[in-house]
Amino acid sequence: MSEQKSILENQRIATLTLGCKVNQYETDGMRELLEQAGVKFVDFEQEADVYLVNTCSVTNMAERKSRQMLHRAKKKNPQAVVVAVGCYVQTMPEEVLEDLSVDLVIGNNRKKDIVGILEEFLENRSDGQCAANTYNCQWLDINQKQAYESLSISHMSEHTRAYIKIQDGCNQFCSYCIIPYVRGRIRSRKPEEVVEEVKKLAQAGCKEVVLTGIHLSSYGKDWKDEEVNSSRLDGTALLQLLQSVSSVDGILRIRLGSLEPRIITDEFVAGLASLTKVCPHFHLSLQSACNETLKRMNRKYTIEEYMESCEKLRHAFDRPALTTDVIVGFPGETEEEFEITCRNLEKLNLYEMHIFKYSKRRGTVAESLPNQVPEEEKSRRSDILLSMTAKQKQEYEASFIGERLQVLVEEKVEKNGADWYVGHTERYMKVEVCSEKNIVNAVVEHLFE
């Protein structure tokens, strides 16, 4: 007796991802599940039967973009089912449920159930039994489960590099951030699941993996009941996972997503340095280089502790590429505080800084803080730090001129009638290599100029 076909078979589905690498990973995971159900994927700009938008809410602008994409999907095909998933759904559920462009709403802890939920929705719709708001509400409770909601991928969305989600949720509650409310409490993925996924990706030709999460430094912390409410981040579980991933044949490079400065202990750094596959490229979250600003942000470290973390990494690795994020114009940031940030960032001399102008985020403590900084002043401060990081990046890369570096080639581009290949070094410096033969997904030695 043949198996009953899924109602999704041959349905044209278009997906769109907004926001972070975790969102992209989850979209890739949902696509694999839908692929197994027999769907046909089409480009988001084409007419589809189902449009799935994985939304973002990290800023008000991200929410606006999410709404725009949902509305664009419905305009492309008014008869299509428009599915809203992700963080905007969790942040503004009432707004999404009332949006006439949205047919189906799925929260952050139910993405792994996409096939069953969509099948049920389509069956009810064909029977004329779909009271949208009542139906949708059951998929929205992010705190319904404390277990990690597993999704997995078996092939890469990029040419050579795979992002692997190993952790979800955040317990930090920084005063400017909505993420703990839309992603729930910290939840960690089982190491054996991660390693199995890495093995499959290696078999598919993947050479590099990036372990990522919403708050990566909390990985494994939820497994120790007595430490759930502790602020201690010792990195033991993350280091053990790195050791296991490092043993997978075929994987040549391992990178880490954003880390908290407090995880950078002597023991953790020594463990990292002992793993030759771990790239000397680390993103340490900062946000401000002034202690008074950090306090208002509810960050859990001082600038002195951050500097010490950077020194530990520089002592253990040869010229590690250290990168960070900085917010300018946070409420109450005086000219004196900004000058302190500038002086400390000059001392830190990082490879690259991603500069963001503070913007109010609905539902956060910072939204109602006094002494909001004018937009023109935020722009001025942003320009100063952008100029600083451009100079520091140029000087850092100049220190490698004349050295032969290992480049993992990611894609081919045509330039001036010749084939060029673009890739990155271990420290994530972008390099172009001219070659007559196809070297995509190969590691080549290149004289850095």
Residue 309 in any domain: the answer is yes
pLDDT digits (tens, 9 = 90+) for 258-309: 999 999 999 999 999 999 999 999 999 999 999 999 999 999 999 999 999 9
Query: What is the reported pLDDT for 145?
Result: 52
Cβ-based neighbours of 159, under 8 Å, separated by 6 or more = 410, 411, 440, 441
pLDDT at 1: 39
What pLDDT score was predicted for residue 345?
98
| Contact yes or no for 218/257 (Cβ under 8 A) | no
Quick check: 381 pLDDT over 90? yes
Q: What is the mean pLDDT of the chain?
A: 90
Q: Are 245 and 195 in contact (CB under 8 A)?
A: yes
**DSSP at 174:** -
User: Does 391 lie in the same domain as 429?
Assistant: no
CATH of the domain at 109: 3.40.50.12160
**pLDDT tens digits, residue range 100-124?**
999 999 888 889 999 999 998 898 8
Query: DSSP assignment of 84-102, as one string?
Result: EEEHHHHHSHHHHHH-TT-
pLDDT digits (tens, 9 = 90+) for 51-78: 999 999 988 889 999 999 999 999 999 9
Q: Which two tokens stand for residue 133?
A: 């708001």
Token duo for residue 405 = 């570096």
Centre a 10 Å sphere on the Cβ of residue 384 and count the other Cβ atoms it contains.
Answer: 16
Residues 8-26: what's their mean pLDDT?
A: 94
Which tokens sit at 238?
């993350």
Does residue 155 lie in a domain region? no
Rounded to whole angstroms, how far apart are CA atoms 220 and 29?
A: 22
Residue 73 belongs to some domain of the structure: yes
Structure confidence at residue 317 (pLDDT): 98
Statement to judge: residues 429 and 304 lie in one domain: no
Q: Among 398, 421, 439, which residue terminates a domain?
A: 398
CATH number of the domain that residue 174 is part of: 3.80.30.20
Residue 132 sits in the same domain as residue 185 = no
- Residue 227 has a pLDDT of 43
Give every strand in the sheet of 40-41, ordered side by side: 40-41, 12-17, 50-55, 81-86, 104-106
Kindly give the residue spans of alpha helices, DSSP state H, lying in 140-203: 179-183, 191-203
Q: At residue 88, does pLDDT exceed 50? A: yes
What's the distance, CA 146 to chain centroid?
A: 21
* CA proximity to 327, closest of 204, 225, 175, 447: 175
Which positions ≥6 away from 15 have C-beta within 8 Å?
Answer: 27, 30, 31, 41, 44, 51, 52, 53, 54
Number of separate domains in the chain: 3
Q: Are residues 87 and 219 in the same domain?
A: no
Pick from 102, 137, 172: which residue ends a domain?
A: 137
User: Does residue 127 surpass a pLDDT of 90?
Assistant: no
Q: Which of 376-385, 407-416, 419-428 has the weakest average pLDDT?
A: 407-416
The answer on 432 and 371 residing in a single domain is no
| pLDDT attached to residue 396 | 98
In a domain, 154, yes or no: no
Residue 143: predicted pLDDT: 53
Domain presence at residue 142: no
Q: What is the pLDDT of residues 325-369, one digit of tens each?
A: 999 999 999 999 999 999 999 999 999 999 999 999 888 999 999
Same domain for 165 and 81: no
List, for residues 193-252, the tens digit of each pLDDT value: 999 999 999 999 999 999 999 999 999 999 865 444 444 456 899 999 999 999 999 999
**Pair (226, 335) in one structural domain:** yes
Q: For 255-315, give the DSSP string.
A: EE--B-GGG--HHHHHHHHT-TTB-SEEEB--B-SSHHHHHHHT-SS-HHHHHHHHHHHHH
Please tell me the predicted confidence (pLDDT) of residue 230.
42
Q: Do 409 and 379 have their domain in common? A: no
Residue 153: predicted pLDDT? 79
151 lies in a domain? no
388 and 411 co-located in one domain: no
Distance from chain centroid for Cα 120? 30
Residues 199 and 114 in one domain: no
Asked whether residue 53 is assigned to any structural domain, the reply reads yes
Is the pLDDT reported for residue 87 higher than 60? yes
Question: Which pLDDT score, from 0 to 100, does residue 20 have?
Answer: 92
pLDDT of residue 131: 46
Whole-angstrom distance, CA of residue 329 vs CA of residue 305: 22
421 domain-assigned: yes
User: Is the distance from CB of 361 to CB of 415 less than 8 angstroms?
Assistant: no
Q: Is the pLDDT of residue 138 over 70?
A: no
Give residues with Cβ within 8 angstroms of 128, minimum separation 6: none
Q: Within this chain, do residues 124 and 177 fall inside the same structural domain, yes or no?
A: no
Nearest one of 107, 133, 124, 119 to 39, comparing CA atoms? 119
pLDDT for 184:
87
Q: Who contacts 56 (Cβ-Cβ below 8 Å, separation ≥6)?
A: 18, 19, 20, 23, 62, 63, 65, 66, 86, 87, 88
Q: Does residue 211 share a domain with residue 122?
A: no
Compute and round to an integer the Cα radius of gyration of the chain.
Answer: 23
Range of the domain at 192: 161-398
The per-type count for the chain, helices as H runs and strands as E runs, is: 14, 16
